[in-house]
Amino acid sequence: MPRTGIHLLLSHLLKDERYTAFYKKRRTEGDYLILDNSAHEKGIGEVDGNLFDKALSVQAQEVVLPDVLFDKRGTIQRTQRTLKWLTKEGWETYVRAGRPRLMVVPQSGDRAEWSACLRILLQTFEMYSDKAPEAFAAPVVGISKDYDTWRNGLPKLIEDYVEPLRADYEFDVHCLGWPNNLWAVATISREFPWVRSTDSAKPFVYAKNLIQLEPGGRVPRYPRRDTNYFTESLNDQEWDIALRNCLVYGATAVNDLILA
């Protein structure tokens, strides 16, 4: 199975020694680690010192700045607070962590507010970057799979609100999760080839429930992760299905749904 060398780590799981050791090893092997703030799991992303101490512990090359699910104001406030912290008392920790790239994640309850949140986050990032131009590389914009439920899904969100901003701001885009409309990723790959990367647990969650994905076929109901997802192993049958599902996922992300 092809490997991308890109991993999304969850900050709240770095208390587990095995989880942490695995990603430390991947880092020494040259893989790219994105440290997520666990907002999707906890509702509110981890902030400031706790988050960047963990980034330091695994030498993550990228960190997702704290967001609050579906909350524009809370997301802006927590992102602003963390950027301010990074340029002041958190500066030493940030430097020791290797000055990882920073991802902003717009959140809101409707499309117009989501667009406003994204623009404010980019403006805020630009402001702090101007204060300390040696500190921050261009940001990454993280787009949550949760918004694929909106009219015409993620492709339309990217077309209407993300693509136009590329003329004014320099940023990369990461899709946070594989949306329930699985084949939307192929549309994004085809229409917006500048979208950098994505991540998902879905190939393994489906496999744990003995669901094999078929390229471009019917999208099965997603059974969601169970409470033991991060500690349980796959048996041989589940692992075979997971490998197939990963191939389907990878082919979808590069807009090639024909698999042998």
Which 3-state string (H, E, C) describes 160-210?
HHHHHHHHCCCCEEEEECCCCCCCHHHHHHHHCCCCCEECCCHHHHHHHCC
Split at pLDDT 50, 70, 90, the class of 158 is very high
| Cα radius of gyration rounded to whole Å, the chain | 18
35 strand-pairing partners: 9, 63
Q: What is the mean pLDDT of residues 66-71?
A: 96
Q: Is the pLDDT of residue 260 over 70?
A: no
How is residue 151 annotated by DSSP? T
Split at pLDDT 50, 70, 90, the class of 227 is confident
Indicate where the chain has its CATH 3.20.20.105 domain(s): 6-200
What local confidence, expressed as pLDDT, does residue 248 receive?
Answer: 94
Q: Is the pLDDT of residue 259 over 80?
A: no
Q: Is the pLDDT of residue 134 over 70?
A: no
Split at pLDDT 50, 70, 90, the class of 142 is very high
Q: Is the pLDDT of residue 258 over 50?
A: no
Residue range 6-200 forms a domain whose CATH class is alpha beta
**Collapsing DSSP states into helix, strand and coil, what is residue 113?**
helix
Average pLDDT, the chain: 92
